[in-house]
A and B are shown apart, each in its own frame.
Chain A
Amino acid sequence: MEKVDEAGAARRRLEEIALLADRPLRFMEVCGTHTIAIFRTGIKSLLTSKIELISGPGCPVCITPQKEIDRAIAYSRMENTILATFGDLLRVPGSDSSLYEEKAEGGDIRVVVSPLDAVKFAQDNLEKRVIFFAVGFETTSPAIAFAVREAGRLELNNFFIYSSQRLVPPAIRALLSGKKTKIDGFILPGHVSVIIGSHPYEFIAREFGIPGVITGFDPLDILEGIEMLARQVKERRAGIEIQYRRVVRPEGNALALKVMEEMFLPARASWRGLGEIPESGLFLRAELSGRDAARVFPLELPDPGEPPGCRCGEVLQGVIRPPECALFSRVCTPDQPVGPCMVSSEGTCAAYYKYGRGK
């Protein structure tokens, strides 16, 4: 079997990056999968000390406000209800419980890989209502939109969506407008960009003069993405480039964008750590309000605020690194998480805890 010399290829990229980076640079990745890949592959341990990689608001679980977690928990406690959601959400602490604890105590909470699984639950359990707690960025929205359409086609009146979906480009704009942290370049998300393409990021270069590279998830992809960013900085250019050309096209995926538009409308939404951001959430269109759990079951819940001492907000904006939070690894661990960045396997704090300590 022929073996690709990955270590050799990586070494060459690392040398080139070291030559290009002639001053300290801060690059931000805004995708949890990148955060994990960077740690898992040991890129941080190899990269020139001139380049600092910081993590942005790229983990959907982490940026979901506690109030919305509380609401999902409340839905799971309703009679005759199956709450379906993605596995990462189970351990996120709400104000006094988590979906995981509710499940251990007998709540009918089911983990799905595809939102279509939730439609199947609705089909198989006509006497119950199924609420799909829809969290995620543009990567998952087409599948959720498709599930809504499928539930309509099957005339399932027991299928509801509680939407906490968010959009990436408005968050980047809010981050840059807030000017809380210096960023020299963006490692832009690969999967999200398969759907939306590169055009929605153009403002980053045009309005803020910062380069961005849409990057894949293999270690060599990430190194090439970093090299492309460093080259732009060195040549004093700022553009949105695509490293992940195998799958990303500038115009995105027209079919996916169309089904999203048919089902959802963007509107103002709240992000943990970043606050309210205009046009940054995706919600069901008014004509689909019969499937909108937030409208059909408008529970009144108190606003829990953020857990005391938790600095996830600053972590999500790249203002501090996790070890700078007083709770990190002392009070807040993956087994007993305080903030969401420690809960999600793709959260920045969890990644630092798991892979980064002792360095």
Chain B
Amino acid sequence: MSKLGQAKRIIFLKTADGQLFEVDEPVAMEFEIVKSFFDENEDAADDTVVPLPNVSAEPLAGIIEFCKAHVEFRANGAAGKDEVKKFNAEYIKEKSNEQLKELILAANYLNIKEMLDFLTETIANRLKNKSVEYVRAFFGIENDFTPQEEEAVRKEYEWAFEGVDED
């Protein structure tokens, strides 16, 4: 690497489940957490491995795929064009709710603003007009209202439960 001098730099990332990823520098710099790691340790060696204790391999691979495409879009001046929308739609199409949740948790930890915005929007779209029970199941949230409390608030907002989509 040092011999080539100008060759593109590779960043090494290690996931919680012990996998090592080699990522092109511009893509890795999309992760705010990685960027600030190198900002704070300017003299870090080229082969420094950045540990990512909160991210496992599967979501990280998905995130790298997304960020790589978006870095290229920006380089080609295609940002904000239909091409990007098409990629995003394709990207999210085959993702299950579980995968989506893992992605957003990882993107949140890595602090990737663009991707986080996109995932947040996607999840919001999947939750739109869904029943309370569906939303609870989606996030694995326990209902902590007592039956009495729930009945009282439901009565007050009775109309709010009309027009809910089938789960």
**A and B, one complex?**
no
Interface of A toward B, CB cutoff 8 Å: none
Interface of B toward A, CB cutoff 8 Å: none
